[in-house]
Structure 1
Amino acid sequence: MNLLIDDVNRVRTLTFNRPDALNAFNEALYDETTVALRAAADDPEVGVVLLTGTGRAFSAGNDLVEMQARISVRGADLAPGEHGFYGMLDALVDFPKPLICAVNGLGVGIGATILGFADLAFMSSSARLKCPFTSLGVAPEAASSYLLPRLIGRQNAAWLLMSSEWISAEEAKDMGLVWRVCAPDELLSEARRHAEVLASKPLSSLKAVKQTMLAPIRADILAAVEREKALFTELVGAAANVDALAAFADRK
């Protein structure tokens, strides 16, 4: 299974489970995560969703081997799955309950930008994050061009989105990208402890808080997704992107 699902004390933990691929998102994982988020949103027994990963990665982002194969076979067909990347983004934008991320290891691309949708983010002290868009010759994604400047400030967001450099857990906390940094063996217990505090509250009230926090910016998030999608479609398959993907495939 690409995604493990576990329920304890009204907290549903969704664990990315492609450890041999560093939990990179292939189309199956996008689809399974989308379905799981929608199901958790509709389940009255779920108060909070906690996202984490197995092995040494949170998520290595898009599965670049699969992306290269899709580009070479079908051109810039970016979402051949049932839901795909944009289906998962819709599920994240629409998710009406608290969403907590526990970054257990490296987070790359969507493995970093997904934190823009987190209500609380915890990060292992040994984890690292990177947004590799410029090294891949593509545009940003997951509304990160809007959410990250709002969350961590324009200059921090500019560095993260433009440099393709790694940032440490402490740097992520200093920027405001994550809320707490934990020792690796304490990460999940700390994230779950806070998740259970929230899950013990009335669900109607939790949803009201989230709705009122997101309502003023929801249209801006969706607009950012569309802007990024247009630029991503324009740049994917162009020379810089093709060269970067070929170099990655050669290293593999």
Structure 2
Amino acid sequence: MNETVLKELNDGVLVVTLNRPDKKNAFNAAQWQGLADALNEAGKDDNVNVVVVTGAGNNFSSGQDLADFESLPGGGGASYRTCEDAVTVFDKPLIGAATGVTVGGGATILFYCDVLYVGQSLRLRVPFTSLGMAPEFASTYMLQARIGTQRAAEILLSSKWVDADEAVATGIAKAKCSDDEVLATALKTASEIAQWPVNALKETKRCLNVMHQAGIQAALAAEHDAMGRQAGSPENMEAVMAFLEKRKPDFKKLIKK
């Protein structure tokens, strides 16, 4: 059993919990694979009508575990790419419940939630420019489809932090709750949805998403190319080393004079 991802099914609602709370649910190879497996299995299980994704402890996910070099996305980590595939094609309702730190892959996954609730402690960031990297999970398409081009550009280019109020105001999230209530709120919505036939839910989601499929695939292709160029680049290595050494990266020293 993959204990980095927990599953619990009740009355058609499957709760999938990222479970590395001591690491703020940062993704290592096992957790990437565990989430992919959970979604792929849920998609095939007629007992599952809705999936709720959340994180153990006080945080949804701090993104890629930079100490786990085996699963670094730019390095071609198989489990990361498997998870990206599973998330982008998941065809049942997906409800998110996120609190605390929500960074990188921990944020871009949430852009695929059909409904997202956030706790008041939410601190969301897509930090790819600060890591000398390119975005992932077709977030360059999904974020602007969700909140508009200018707002998405600001968030992606600046690597800024987004709090719960801004997440709701921009449309990233539907509503802000207290941290103690966010999962219960998500489960209430999931239960309301789960009472209906699973095929009707899948067909409705398909109709909602059909116009986005070409954009997602185009963004994935562009991002994979960009990530291939940036992974292991001098600026990317400086960012990773600065993180591991707990210092601020110095990108200016990389500029050729």
TM-score range, shorter chain: over 0.9
**TM-superposition CA deviations, 1:28-55 (whole Å, max 9, x none):** 1111111110100000100000000011
What is the CA–CA distance in structure 1 between the aligned matches of 2:224 and 2:80, rounded to whole Å? 11
- Displacement of 1:219 after TM fit? 2.3
8 A contact 2:28–2:71 mirrored in 1? no
What is the CA–CA distance in structure 2 between the aligned matches of 1:171 and 1:70, rounded to whole Å? 31
What is the CA–CA distance in structure 2 between the aligned matches of 1:224 and 1:70, rounded to whole Å? 21
Paired positions, count: 245
Amino acid at match of 1:36: A
- Displacement of 1:77 after TM fit? 2.8
Amino acid at match of 1:151: R
Q: 1:174 to 1:36 in 2, by over 3 A?
A: same
Where does residue 236 of structure 1 map in the other structure? 231
SS at match of 2:102: strand
Are 2:248 and 1:246 equivalent residues in the alignment? no
Where does residue 162 of structure 1 map in the other structure? 157
SS at match of 2:145: helix
Equivalent residue in structure 1 for 2:129, among 129, 134, 142: 134
RMSD: 1.6
Equivalent residue in structure 2 for 1:50, among 49, 52, 67: 52
Give matches, 1:50-129, under 5 Å. 50-67=52-69, 77-79=75-77, 81=78, 84-129=79-124
- Displacement of 1:70 after TM fit? 6.9
Where does residue 148 of structure 1 map in the other structure? 143
Equivalent residue in structure 2 for 1:19, among 18, 21, 35: 21
Equivalent residue in structure 1 for 2:183, among 165, 188, 196: 188
**TM-superposition CA deviations, 1:165-202 (whole Å, max 9, x none):** 21110000000000111111111111000000000111
Where does residue 7 of structure 2 map in the other structure? 5
- Displacement of 1:149 after TM fit? 0.9
SS at match of 1:216: helix
Are 2:202 and 1:207 equivalent residues in the alignment? yes
User: TM-score when scaled to structure 1?
Assistant: 0.93
Answer with 39-48 or 107-116: which moved more. Answer: 107-116
- Displacement of 1:78 after TM fit? 2.2
SS at match of 2:51: strand
Amino acid at match of 1:14: V
What is the CA–CA distance in structure 2 between the aligned matches of 1:153 and 1:219, rounded to whole Å? 17
User: TM-score when scaled to structure 2?
Assistant: 0.92
Equivalent residue in structure 1 for 2:43, among 41, 64, 70: 41
SS at match of 2:67: helix
What is the CA–CA distance in structure 2 between the aligned matches of 1:111 and 1:128, rounded to whole Å? 11
What is the CA–CA distance in structure 1 between the aligned matches of 2:113 and 2:227, rounded to whole Å? 23
SS at match of 1:101: strand
SS at match of 1:41: helix
Structure 1 moving runs of 4+ over 2 Å? none
- Displacement of 1:61 after TM fit? 0.7
Q: 1:70 to 1:40 in 2, by over 3 A?
A: closer
8 A contact 1:130–1:167 mirrored in 2? yes
- Displacement of 1:115 after TM fit? 2.0
**TM-superposition CA deviations, 1:81-140 (whole Å, max 9, x none):** 4xx222112111221110011012210011111122110000001111011111100011
8 A contact 2:88–2:137 mirrored in 1? no
Amino acid at match of 1:52: T
Structure 1: runs of 5+ lacking an equivalent: none
Structure 2: runs of 5+ lacking an equivalent: 248-257
SS at match of 1:141: coil
8 A contact 1:132–1:161 mirrored in 2? yes
- Displacement of 1:248 after TM fit? 0.5
